[in-house]
Amino acid sequence: MTGISILKERKKQIYQKGAEPFSITCGKHSLAGSVSQRACVFCGSRVVLYPIADALHLIHGPIGCAAYTWDIRGALSSGPELHRLSFSTDLQEKDVIFGGEKKLYHALIDLIHEYKPKAAFVYSTCIVGIIGDDVEAVCKKVSRETGVETLPVHSEGFKGTKKDGYKAACEALFKLVGQGSVDNISPYSINILGEFNIGGEAWIIKDYYKRMGVNVVSTMTGDGRVDDVRRSHGAMLNVVQCSGAMTYLADMMKEKYGIPYIRVSYFGLEDMSKALYDVAEYFSHNPEIMTCTQELVRYEISRIYPELQKIKTAVKGKRAAIYVGGAFKAFSLIKALKYIGINVILAGSQTGNDADYEVLRDMCDKGTIILDDANPLELSKYIIEKKADLFIGGVKERPIAYKMGIGFCDHNHERKTPLAGYSGMLNFAREVYLTVTSPVWQFAR
Amino acid sequence: MLLKHTTDEIKARKALTINPAKTCQPIGAMYASLGIHGCLPHSHGSQGCYAYHRSTLTRHYKEPVMAATSAFTEGASVFGGQANLLQALDNIFTVYNPDVVAVHTTCLSETIGDDIPQIFNKAIADGKVPEGKYVLHANTPSYVGSHITGFANMTKAMVDYFAVSNGHKEKTVNIIPGYVEPADMEEIKRLGDIMGIKTIMFPDTSKVLNGPMTGRFKMYPEGGVTIKELKLAGSSKGTIALGNLASGAAAKALDVKCKVPCQILDLPIGLQATDMFIDTLRQIAGVNVPDAVTFERGQMIDIITDMHQYFYGRRVGLVGDPDQILALAKFLVSIDMCPVYIVSGSPAGKKFVKRLEEITQEVPYEVKISVPGDMFLFHQWIKQESVDLIIGNTYAKYIARDEDIPLIRFGFPILDRVGHSYFPTVGYKGGIRLLEKILDAILDRIDRDSSDISFELVM
Ligand code: SF4
Ligand code: SF4
């Protein structure tokens, strides 16, 4: 398997640290004929907006797009669960020929009547873009007639990559921002952007900020509520995590409402602490916040430290391959892995940009392979060559790792436990530990 | 109460599907393609659908699922996907080196009207399909039918592209297994083997999607029907198609194209359907049923006899794919159980519904059937009057939890359990397993719900 051929066009998307000069091509469309691990615009929009639990999410298109995204992410809600149902216009042949606007209209009216959601999102899929339904007009009409704001999400799959889907989602959200009252918002207040409450992560993070004395106006979009988004422009600061997904919204909010933003990551001790300190720093005119933050960090780290050290002794020197969606996640993962003594021998992303890859290069040790938009053959080639013990990726990578007899850790959809925050770091370390030291591998290799 | 938004009041919905009990054509085509040896399925369309199809199959089988994409962009969606497919074929044969590339379309490429055979001709003329390698294709627009239709179309394409009549009848019997698990395909072949019959099964995903752990990643696992066998299928003595919706089209095409007579049977789930299958196989091949098979049959009846009191009168909700729910309903009725709600997301036609009605006409309750229907309606029915057992895919677990009803996972997709790809539910052995599952569910419930006084060691 090591003797695979790599297409000429792909060679520039692979880089080995140490080989100069540094150059990696990214942001390209996948080649036709590739076994790409990437998804589409719709996918990007869907993952961003999905956790808004009191909104209606209607997928306008044939059944597949809705069926495959039905509750596949564990974005938890502390209240309504409307987001966990799968609504689709289920377009049929005659709709494709005569247009699906009528069907969309009726579906929306029925659903809004039945569920009285706070707002409705309508996702356009590929086919809708092709047959040219005027989704915008239908949404307007429905908003007018029902009084429930109905927002089109322009997420036709073929119109770009997952990133473009993030953008479309941000545009839809931005329409809500600014509609609500900003009364009673504390001067020490933030919005959390790009946090999806997988396994309850938003709850952990919110708790930290609360303990610091910082008020969270809205989490976008984890455990999200429409009314919170509506008043999010009242916050003093936007804290953007998973930069790929929501920076666009932060930019728009900065421009229109003058809200500054900082980029953070909640994964790993280092980044998590920095995320809290950066916020405390921003509110430095209230020194109490900084004091609380210091206390919090000290307390949280000392709580998990002993077990982390134990795990470190057990997994030290193991080698990991990382292939994740956004590059930002990769940075945190590398740091978190280094912290427990694990070397990263491959780091790849589906959607990294030039700047991301430069950061990646600087972070990685010599010899590390850096990959943009990889395929399974490449991944498996380097896993063998570099003798990885652990693969961190998403759903499609899991069985590949297992077939090769190495550990796996999901850092994408299929997570059940939160990996963010201090307790999340411990969960992550435990997961790494249990998979790389599993007795099963003795039978496998 | 995850589905707390489900109401028991049923209102007419025309424009809307809630909680679908089906998926779209391409995933079925992708699954069928994986049942050809050395085949790389190829999705002609944009990347998203393809990524979802691969993820969903990966989640269901817990195996690497390989496929390639034409990676449509806006340009392709306006000017057509010919350039993409040509480049794709070139890249695929250079990098991934499969024996066969099975192309299926998506909503997108269908709507813009790409002519795949014409693109194939061009690819072959341009030398983009190397000597000894093959391509085939199926049209799989998702706004028609469901994943079952996609499976049927790709299976039929295997016939259209490869089956030839070599002028004399071979000893082989073709079996088209239907949209079933790899373990089921294996079991059907095993029955053929012990009857001493040479069978050609297509598609055949056993050893592909339930393969062993080897310490290596194989792009093309061991199993799958070979092109040589597919060609030979045109000269077989006969064809048995299991499940009309998934397998009927291919069987009929083979009959028309190569004069191989076909028999379309129900999926061999349960005693009678398996009897029917064995008997048909026996007749076509001209053999006697060996004692080993009769023995297994006897074992199955033995279990039904031993435990028959626990089946009697139980109300069951069935949700799944048409061929499966038909066979299951028949089986349940034959052991005195009562399928009262039957839902399939896939459209299956009036005749199909009529057959379901016939099968369930002796059931002493009102039987509600919705084909095509969705899980929301299924849940509403259950809310109105509950059942003792649900048989359906993983998504049924929400209903099972909310309404506190035991669930047997059956069908596609099963995302949260293993076993389905390793242990069959077809044939007598599979029937025994199914009975075990049903009994476990019912008896566990009796144990759970019984008072201390009536809690029994022996059941
Ligand atoms: S666009 Fe069509 S083929 Fe693609 S996922 Fe949606 S329904 Fe399926
Ligand atoms: S049809 Fe388009 S929008 Fe739907 S999954 Fe496929 S690429 Fe994405």
Give the residue numbers spanning the domain of B276: 172-295
Q: Which residue has the higher pLDDT, B132 or A28?
A: B132
B158 and B39 share one domain: yes
With b meaning 16 or more CB within 10 Å and e meaning fewer, what string describes B304-316? beebeebbeebbb
B208 and B154 share one domain: no
Q: What angle do CA A55, A57, A59 make, to 5 degrees?
A: 165
**Which-ligand-closest: CA of B46?**
2
B395 and B418 share one domain: yes
pLDDT, tens only, B375-415: 999 999 999 999 999 999 999 999 999 999 999 999 999 99
For the cut 80, the answer to whether the pLDDT of residue B44 exceeds it is yes
* Chain A residues near residue B74 by CB distance under 8 angstroms: 158-160
CB < 8 Å from B in window 99-128 of A: 102-107, 110-111, 114-115, 125-127
Give how far Cα A304 sits from Cα of A208, A264, A269, A342, Å: 15, 21, 10, 18
Q: Look at chain B and report how many structural domains it folds into.
A: 3
> DSSP string of A311-324?
HHHHHTT-EEEEEE
Contact A248, A167 (CB under 8 A): yes
Radius of gyration, CA atoms only, chain A: 22
B35 and B145 share one domain: yes
Query: What is the CA(A126)–ligand 2 centre distance, in A?
Result: 5
Asked if A393 reaches chain B (Cβ–Cβ under 8 Å), the answer is no
Contact A124, A152 (CB under 8 A): yes
Atom of ligand 2 nearest to the CA of B50: 6
Distance CA B101, CA B42 (A): 7
B157 and B176 share one domain: no
For the cut 80, the answer to whether the pLDDT of residue A240 exceeds it is yes
Query: Does A396 sit within 8 Å of B55, measured CB to CB?
Result: yes
Query: Does B16 sit within 8 Å of A89, measured CB to CB?
Result: yes
How is residue B106 written in tokens?
Answer: 């998506």
How close does chain A come to B142, measured CA to CA in Å?
6
Question: Can you list the alpha helix ranges (DSSP code H) found in A147-286?
Answer: 162-176, 201-212, 226-230, 243-257, 269-282
* Chain B residues near residue A142 by CB distance under 8 angstroms: none
Strand order in the sheet with B100-105: B68-69, B39-44, B100-105, B134-138
Question: Can you list the alpha helix ranges (DSSP code H) found in B113-146?
Answer: 116-125
Taking residue B347's Cβ as centre, other Cβ atoms within 10 Å add up to: 17
Nearest CA among B383, B408, B403, B248 for reference residue B328: B408
B205 domain residue, yes or no:
yes
Please tell me the CATH superfamily of domain A189-298, with its number.
Answer: Nitrogenase molybdenum iron protein domain (3.40.50.1980)
Residue A27: per-residue pLDDT: 65
Arithmetic mean of pLDDT, A63-89: 91
Do A41-174 and A189-298 show the same overall fold? yes
B141 and B254 share one domain: no
Contact B368, B342 (CB under 8 A): yes
How close does chain B come to A270, measured CA to CA in Å?
33
> DSSP string of A64-123?
HHHHHTTT-S-B--SS--GGGS-EE----HHHHHH-SHHHHHHHHHHHHHHH--SEEEEE
Q: Decide which of B143, B162, B181 is a domain's last residue.
A: B162
Specify the 3-state DSSP secondary structure of B269: coil
Distance CA A134, CA A194 (A): 29
Question: Can you list the alpha helix ranges (DSSP code H) found in A217-353?
Answer: 226-230, 243-257, 269-282, 287-315, 327-339
What is the DSSP pairing of strand B238-242 with strand B173-176? parallel
Q: Decide which of B162, B184, B206 is a domain's last residue.
A: B162
Arithmetic mean of pLDDT, B232-240: 97
For the cut 90, the answer to whether the pLDDT of residue A358 exceeds it is no
ipTM: 0.90
Query: What is the CA(B109)–ligand 2 centre distance, in A?
Result: 12
Q: Identify residue B89 by its one-letter amino acid code.
A: L
A21 pLDDT band (50/70/90 cuts)? low
Instruction: Look at B20-24, B44-48, B178-182, B218-222 and tell me which has the smallest mean pLDDT.
Output: B44-48
How close does chain B come to A64, measured CA to CA in Å?
5
Longest dimension (CA), chain B: 80
pLDDT, tens only, A134-166: 999 999 999 999 999 999 999 987 888 888 999
Residue A363: per-residue pLDDT: 83
Give the residue extent of every domain in chain A. 8-25+316-414, 41-174, 189-298
What is the DSSP pairing of strand A87-88 with strand B17-18? antiparallel
Record the pTM: 0.94
Q: Decide which of B104, B132, B162 is a domain's last residue.
A: B162
pLDDT, tens only, B16-31: 899 999 999 999 999 9
B455 domain residue, yes or no:
no
B80 pLDDT band (50/70/90 cuts)? confident
Query: What is the CA(A156)–ligand 2 centre distance, in A?
Result: 7
Atom of ligand 1 nearest to the CA of A63: 7
B457 domain residue, yes or no:
no
B458 domain residue, yes or no:
no
B156 pLDDT band (50/70/90 cuts)? very high
Contact B345, B146 (CB under 8 A): yes
Atom of ligand 1 nearest to the CA of B140: 3
User: How is chain B split among helix, strand and coil, in percent rounded to 5?
Assistant: 45, 15, 40
B224 domain residue, yes or no:
yes
Q: Which residue has the higher pLDDT, A328 or B114?
A: B114
Which CATH topology does A8-25+316-414 take?
A: Rossmann fold (3.40.50)
Distance CA B29, CA B152 (A): 8
B72 and B189 share one domain: no
Q: What are the beta bridge partners of residue A198?
A: A75
Strand order in the sheet with B173-176: B199-201, B173-176, B238-242, B262-265
Residue A396: per-residue pLDDT: 86
Distance CA A216, CA A56 (A): 24
B104 and B185 share one domain: no
Query: What is the CA(B69)–ligand 2 centre distance, in A?
Result: 12
Atom of ligand 1 nearest to the CA of B108: 1
Instruction: Look at A28-37, B127-136, B437-446 and tell me which has the smallest mean pLDDT.
Output: A28-37
* Chain A residues near residue B26 by CB distance under 8 angstroms: 64
CATH of the domain at B235: 3.40.50.1980
B167 domain residue, yes or no:
no
How close does chain A come to B84, measured CA to CA in Å?
6
Residue B330's Cβ-side half-sphere holds a number of Cα atoms within 13 Å equal to: 21
Distance CA A173, CA A160 (A): 19
Nearest CA among B275, B250, B285, B255 for reference residue B177: B250
Q: Ligand 2 — pocket residues by CB below 6 A?
A: A 40, 42, 61, 65, 125-126, 157-158; B 46, 48-49, 52, 107
B290 and B207 share one domain: yes
Asked if A63 reaches chain B (Cβ–Cβ under 8 Å), the answer is yes
Span A41-174 CATH architecture:
3-Layer(aba) Sandwich (3.40)
Give how far Cα B91 sits from Cα of A7, A25, A33, B94, B118, Å: 7, 19, 6, 5, 19
B66 domain residue, yes or no:
yes
